[in-house]
Amino acid sequence: MLTAVFFRLSTWELWLIVAAIVLGFVAAGYLTGRFLRLRDETLREPVGIVQGAFFALVGLILAFGLTLAIGRYDTRRAAVVDDANTIGTTYLRAQTLAEPIRARSLQLLRQYTDASIALSLAVPTTARFGQVVARQDGLQRRLWALAGDALRNAPQDSAPRLYVETLNEMIDQQTVRIAALNNRIPNAVLALEVFGAAFAFGLLALYTAMHGRGATTVVLAGALVTLLLLVIFDLDRPTRGLIRVPDTPLVALRESMMLPPAAHGPSA
């Protein structure tokens, strides 16, 4: 699939591929324009009208793709913040549990935070990503088992019930975050943006060559559009490239867990 192929490439490989497609169309359009210029001058006006209309359409498509990419990037950033908040609340409420469940739960929550940070560094659809998700799932099962023991040992206490509530929210938030990481721009939109922009600049080069002008301006404009396409792809690749979703909230939460717990639960 187109998305999967682009997603696994490095930033420079991706830029070279996109630039080769766009500039390849520019070269083909310029050579075709020079050929037609010597044979038929009646095509100049129709080609100019078509390329102008097509450029307007491509501009709308690029704006649409950029909007999709920014929206998904913002969703992933919000998911990281929500993940840190739910883990932090669960960690605070775990401090009110009775021993020995309290100490074991706090230790597992520290490990779970480490796994959440590792999730920010793993590339979706890779084996490493699946391993991190499986590690989180295992920690969730162990935490839920301990929460069940806390409820069974003190069914009348409010602390275990409040803890179970936030633990459930933490587990649900992992699903939200994974879904956000895997939610990328559809293949058809990516292909339409790349080849639509390439075709538009090919028409522009054709029109320019038919009027006997150089292709320097067209090449420079095409290079700028490839940078815009690269930004769109970069925003859609949360753990690759130059633009990444920051994991600062999770890192700050993990550092706060190094301090002694502020609350103490009842004795066994």
The tens-digit pLDDT sequence of the chain (268 residues) is 445 556 666 777 778 888 888 888 888 877 777 766 665 555 555 555 666 666 677 778 788 888 888 888 899 999 999 999 999 999 999 998 888 889 999 999 999 999 999 998 888 878 888 899 999 999 999 999 999 988 888 878 888 899 999 999 999 999 999 999 888 888 788 888 888 888 887 777 777 777 666 667 777 877 788 888 888 888 887 777 677 888 899 999 999 989 888 777 676 5
Q: How many CA atoms lie within 13 A of 244 on its CB side?
A: 13
| Residue in this structure with the two tokens 């600049």, named with its chain if needed | 201
Q: pLDDT value at position 85?
A: 94
Q: Cβ(203)–Cβ(51) under 8 Å?
A: yes
15-22-195 Cα angle (round to 5)? 100
- CA atoms of 166 and 94, how far apart (whole Å): 10
- CA atoms of 123 and 237, how far apart (whole Å): 9
| Residue in this structure with the two tokens 């930033």, named with its chain if needed | 11
Q: Cβ(109)–Cβ(143) under 8 Å?
A: yes
Kindly state the tokens that stand for 23.
């500039």
Q: Is 14 exposed, middle or buried (0-12, 13-18, 19+ CB in 10 A)?
A: buried
In sequence order, what E strands does 56-137 have? Answer: none
Q: pLDDT value at position 26?
A: 81
Who contacts 195 (Cβ-Cβ below 8 Å, separation ≥6)? 21
Residue 76 neighbours by CB distance under 10 Å = 21
